[in-house]
Amino acid sequence: MVFKNLFITRHGLRLGKSGSYITVKGKDISERIPLGAFSNVFILANVTISTQTLKYLSENGKYVFILTTTGRIKSIIFPELLSSNTKVRKRQYKEFELEASRLFLTKELLWRKAKLTQKFLIKFREARGESTNLTVYKDFFRDVSFLIDSAMSVDQLRGVDGFMMKNLFFEFSDSVKEFFSFKSRSYHPPTDEPNAVLSLVFSMFYSILFPLVISHELDPYCGFFHIKRGKHAALVSDLMELARPELIFFTADILNRGFFTNSDFKKFKSGVYIKPAAVRVLCKLFMEKLVHSKVFFPIQLFIREVLIK
């Protein structure tokens, strides 16, 4: 089972085909990637790709997603032998209608998120050079697991999720306080610099996760935990919960490394926004440090083990 996707994030590269390999060439790069080493292709840069290569990918069941550098979908090239998604989606619609099924899925999702939250709460303290009492974090996971197991409704589980997020944002605030002030999560609009960066990081990840959900033949708008509003892709937001601990840690890390200063933001009565030049820096960091990390693995694992098993 292949969980890894091929992300192309550097401008000017040339994608081709050589035997059963996809070739990636540029000024200082020349790679041959076996077709079986990746699930689908995500292109987030201006590149050259031959029609022969696109045909080869399509014939072998690979999606090719073409996105902007901020993750917005521009085009999707579907596999030539696209299997019917009727069976997968019928099951999705049926299960997500049932309260008992939504409760089970949400418990499984939050249990996995609790493990990741425990991991990144420890990483926050280690990054600050502080001593770590592992017993405290074992107790945290034990207590959260108990709350998850004993919850009788999805609404109760939203409260458990809120508790985990409160702990993550407490560590986030403590980590960035030397450079920025962060009191609590705010958006629509963000009210301070850290919230402005968090919002953009979350939005970019949401945009890239959207086509990943489509590639598994699931309906991204039909979720089991988040409530759909308007054009909101509820299932994408559901699955994104497994990435939030790492996204929050990533944001704290780049704020602490001096990539951004107060001059990179515009402050209005309506909120705080990132200047265009700083957005480009953030996009570059996002592609270099996050997209090519293992952040998608827990999501793909959940899809395979729980949603389409």
Contact between residue 141 and residue 118 where contact means Cβ atoms under 8 Å apart: yes
Separation between Cα atoms, residue 123 and residue 249, nearest integer Å? 8
The pair of structure tokens assigned to 14 is: 């040339």
The pair of structure tokens assigned to 109 is: 């999702």
CA 97 to chain centre: 25
Assigned CATH for 86-307: 1.20.120.920
The residues spanned by each domain of the chain are 6-77, 86-307
What is the strand order of the sheet 14-18 is part of? 29-34, 21-26, 14-18, 48-49
Say what the pLDDT of residue 159 is: 97
**Exposure string over 76-88, b if 16+ CB within 10 A, otherwise e:** ebebeeeeeeeeb
Per-residue pLDDT of the chain (309 residues; tens, 9 = 90+): 445 788 888 889 999 999 999 999 998 899 999 998 888 888 888 999 999 999 999 888 888 888 876 667 788 888 865 555 678 899 999 999 999 999 999 999 999 999 999 999 999 999 999 988 889 999 999 999 999 999 999 999 999 999 999 999 999 999 999 999 999 998 888 999 999 999 989 988 998 898 889 888 899 999 999 987 777 899 999 999 999 999 999 999 999 999 999 999 999 888 899 988 888 889 888 888 887 788 999 999 999 999 988
The amino acid present at 185, given as its one-letter code, is R
Contact between residue 76 and residue 214 where contact means Cβ atoms under 8 Å apart: yes
Assigned CATH for 6-77: 3.100.10.20
Say what the pLDDT of residue 2 is: 47
Say what the pLDDT of residue 85 is: 60
Separation between Cα atoms, residue 255 and residue 175, nearest integer Å? 9
